[in-house]
């Protein structure tokens, strides 16, 4: 079938996209390569369609389908969407993706290359022609343009032939394979789709599971996305696969998506309602009881699927004080020790089995963590980490909230809900960064967690770059007890720069005690079986390279992430934990990362690493990441290699 006929069939509603297909994910480089291949008349592959009765077809978009039968694209969506966008100058009705991926493609009639419009490069160069204009109006309309300018006259026939070659791309025949027959159920077709696409687009297990669900419940994807939008408005950013995993643990009590294969859609729909209720409940509980009230300090989001299954098995959310304490105690320790940072499915499966087999599942989960760690005591050395990307950063924030640390200048208890433009909580370096650098302290010492505390913006500005031995004394005299409320050692000798390392060591001891006191208070009574646990394992403190070192750096990364999203690309993950696939150990923290690439499934993992060490770069490189050390080079990569603008 000719390409022009395929596009006409889309307009007529006889070719459409099945609901279980994921959206358009090609980048501009792939669009350009397709057009270059078609221009050279290279083979670009066949299409695979499912011929089914219109009344049985669940399709994407609002386009009207022809009566009788319809062809649903199983393989070829990216190519056909690209061609439709370039030939028609707009996306098809079923489009779901970044329209910039095929907008503004130009052709150089001298060099015979395709590139996307670049004003500086193309504005005054007559050799560039808009490909969509060529497709719409045909090469004949350009004759006057070509004959009027002297630079075209010597090669007029050649140039017209090149333009005609582009226009005639619409007449290229694409072979179409059809899946037909009354025996071809939705389940069979989804299996065909998965087999065909899993090699070319590298669909994740979650993608494949969602395709299966959408085959029976066409609105599933949109309803799941609506929930994610709801939580995003509240300041929490979750992924579609994470939500589907939560639904899965509720309805199947399994960590593996394959368990969804034989689940009736009505049960999945009910599971989604339970997932929404569970997540809402957990976010409110964690925010109100632990003070972890925004995405950057949320901690172990992959404990949510486990807890959602716990509530589903229980049948209600009515926890007494003892149960609430145990639940939060377990939750905190999951992010402190990275319970789900490595192989999420295998660890989740182990913990789901505990829910099934334990008479008291919360006790069982805690016992499991104790067996892995030797004990669950926080030690001073655990605060040896640095940067706001460290695992213990949320714990520091939490301690500030739950122990009701006080603002130094006002003596008022700190809370994220304080009123006033200058009252939001900010990170404060107790010893000023600039002066520590002047005294030759290294970055991991300057940005050590034990040098962080939280203050209102007004107080932070007031303290500015003052020496701690001066301003700490001032606030201690004005509001007795406020300095101690931040676990700052009151030995004045430790407030001097020459004793900075001793200050860090002393404050780590105070922080560890505060953490243990709070978490021990969450457990009421003696949990059965704990006396059988072996003595604590010797766990050496380890400095993990990488991580966001300041609020200014975080602001820069946030702006960059917003810019990426504005360009129709997926947002990156802050403080991405890079795990060694063999050992399961945390090897580095990447400031901002796209582990699946900026075009998920088609491009290499990418990371933006600001002010990092060689160890971080080496770890990222070893894991296969393309990394950038400044925002400008990262943006150039996005524009040139991903969007090609």
Res 107 pLDDT > 70: yes
Res 297 pLDDT > 50: yes
pLDDT confidence band for 28 (50 / 70 / 90): confident
* Distance, CA of 84 to CA of 170 (rounded, Å): 10
Instruction: Please give the backbone phi and psi of residue 122, each rounded to the nearest 5 degrees, phi first.
Output: -110, -20
Identify the CA nearest to 147 among candidates 164, 126, 165: 126
Average pLDDT over residues 222-227: 92
Average pLDDT over residues 391-412: 89
Please name the helix (run of DSSP H) or strand (run of DSSP E) that holds residue 312, with its range, or none: helix 304-314
Average pLDDT over residues 89-106: 89
* Distance, CA of 102 to CA of 568 (rounded, Å): 12
The SS3 of residue 371 is helix
The SS3 of residue 52 is strand
Contact 391, 336 (CB under 8 A): yes
Instruction: Please give the backbone phi and psi of residue 179, each rounded to the nearest 5 degrees, phi first.
Output: -100, 115
Q: What is the pLDDT of residue 602?
A: 63
**Two tokens, residue 240:** 């579609």
Please name the helix (run of DSSP H) or strand (run of DSSP E) that holds residue 16, with its range, or none: strand 15-16
Contact 522, 329 (CB under 8 A): yes
Least confident span in 327-331, 401-405, 412-416: 412-416
Q: Provide the 10 A C-beta neighbour count for residue 68.
A: 9
**Two tokens, residue 324:** 């609430």
In percent, how much of the chain has pLDDT > 90? 38
Residue ranges of the domains in the chain? 3-179, 202-373, 381-522, 551-642
Res 11 pLDDT > 60: yes
- What pLDDT digit, counting tens, does each position of 541-576 carry? 456 777 777 767 878 888 898 898 888 788 888 878
Contact 323, 362 (CB under 8 A): yes
Question: Bigger pLDDT: 110 or 201?
Answer: 110
pLDDT, averaged across the chain: 84
Average pLDDT over residues 60-69: 84
Q: What is the pLDDT of residue 262?
A: 82
Identify the CA nearest to 103 among candidates 81, 121, 125, 123: 81
Average pLDDT over residues 159-170: 92
Average pLDDT over residues 608-635: 88
* Distance, CA of 130 to CA of 488 (rounded, Å): 65
**Two tokens, residue 6:** 């395929």
* Distance, CA of 424 to CA of 417 (rounded, Å): 7
Average pLDDT over residues 177-201: 67
Burial tier of 529 (Cβ tally within 10 Å: 0-12, 13-18, 19+): middle
What letters, b where the CB count within 10 A reaches 16 and e where it falls short, cover 562-573? eebeebebbebb
pTM of the model: 0.71
Instruction: Please give the backbone phi and psi of residue 178, each rounded to the nearest 5 degrees, phi first.
Output: -120, 140
């Amino acid at each position: 079938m000719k390409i022009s006929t395929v596009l006409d069939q889309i307009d007529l509603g006889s070719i459409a996209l099945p609901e279980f297909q994921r959206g358009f994910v090609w980048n501009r480089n792939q669009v350009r390569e397709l057009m270059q291949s078609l221009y050279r008349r290279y083979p670009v592959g066949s299409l695979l369609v499912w011929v089914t009765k219109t009344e049985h077809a669940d399709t994407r978009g609002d386009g009207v389908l022809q009566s009788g039968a319809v062809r649903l694209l199983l393989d070829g969506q990216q190519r056909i969407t690209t061609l439709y966008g370039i030939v028609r100058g707009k996306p098809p009705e079923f489009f779901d993706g970044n329209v910039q991926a095929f907008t503004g493609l130009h052709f150089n009639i001298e060099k015979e290359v395709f590139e996307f419009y670049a004003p500086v490069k193309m504005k005054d160069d007559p050799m560039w022609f808009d490909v969509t204009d060529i497709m719409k109006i045909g090469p004949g309309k350009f004759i006057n343009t070509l004959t009027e300018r002297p630079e075209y006259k010597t090669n007029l026939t050649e140039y017209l032939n090149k333009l005609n070659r582009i226009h005639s791309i619409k007449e290229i025949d694409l072979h179409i394979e059809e899946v037909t027959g009354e025996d071809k159920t939705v389940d069979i077709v989804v299996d065909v789709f998965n087999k065909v696409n899993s090699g070319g687009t590298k669909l994740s297990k979650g993608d494949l599971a969602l395709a299966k669900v959408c085959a029976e419940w066409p609105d599933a994807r949109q309803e799941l996305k609506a929930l994610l939008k709801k939580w995003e408005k509240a300041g929490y950013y979750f992924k579609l696969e994470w939500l589907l995993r939560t639904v899965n643990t509720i309805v199947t009590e399994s960590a593996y998506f394959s368990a969804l294969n034989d689940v009736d859609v009505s049960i999945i729909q009910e599971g989604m309602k339970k997932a929404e209720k569970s997540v809402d409940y957990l976010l409110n509980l964690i925010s109100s009881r632990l003070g972890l009230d925004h995405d950057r300090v949320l901690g172990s989001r992959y404990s949510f699927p486990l807890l959602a299954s716990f509530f589903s098995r229980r049948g209600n959310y009515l926890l007494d004080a003892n149960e609430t304490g145990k639940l939060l105690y377990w939750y905190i320790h999951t992010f402190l020790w990275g319970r789900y940072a490595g192989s999420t499915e295998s660890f989740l499966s182990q913990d789901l089995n505990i829910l099934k087999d334990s008479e008291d599942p919360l006790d069982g989960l805690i016992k499991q963590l104790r067996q892995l760690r030797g004990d669950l005591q926080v030690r001073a050395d655990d605060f040896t980490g640095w940067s706001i990307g460290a695992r213990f950063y949320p714990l520091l924030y939490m301690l500030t909230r739950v122990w009701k640390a006080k603002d130094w200048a006002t003596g008022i208890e700190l809370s994220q809900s304080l009123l006033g433009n200058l009252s939001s909580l900010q990170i404060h370096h107790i010893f000023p960064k600039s002066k520590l650098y002047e005294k030759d302290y290294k970055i991991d010492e300057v940005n050590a967690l034990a040098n962080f505390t939280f203050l209102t913006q007004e107080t932070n500005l007031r303290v500015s770059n003052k020496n701690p031995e001066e301003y700490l004394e001032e606030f201690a005299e004005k509001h007795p007890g406020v300095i101690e409320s931040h676990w700052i050692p009151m030995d004045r000798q430790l407030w001097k720069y020459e004793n900075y390392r001793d200050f860090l060591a002393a404050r780590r001891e105070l922080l560890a005690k505060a953490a243990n006191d709070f978490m021990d208070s969450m457990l009421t009574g003696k949990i059965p079986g704990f006396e059988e646990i072996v003595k604590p394992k010797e766990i050496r403190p380890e400095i993990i390279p990488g991580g966001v070192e300041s609020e200014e750096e975080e602001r820069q990364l946030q702006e960059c992430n917003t810019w990426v999203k504005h360009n129709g690309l997926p947002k990156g993950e802050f403080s991405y934990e890079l795990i060694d696939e063999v050992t399961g150990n945390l090897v580095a923290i990447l400031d901002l990362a796209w582990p699946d690439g900026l075009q998920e499934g088609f491009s290499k993992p990418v990371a933006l690493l600001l002010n990092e060490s060689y160890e971080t770069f080496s770890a990222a490189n070893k894991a296969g990441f393309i990394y950038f050390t400044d925002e400008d080079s990262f943006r150039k990569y996005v524009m040139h290699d991903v969007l090609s603008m």
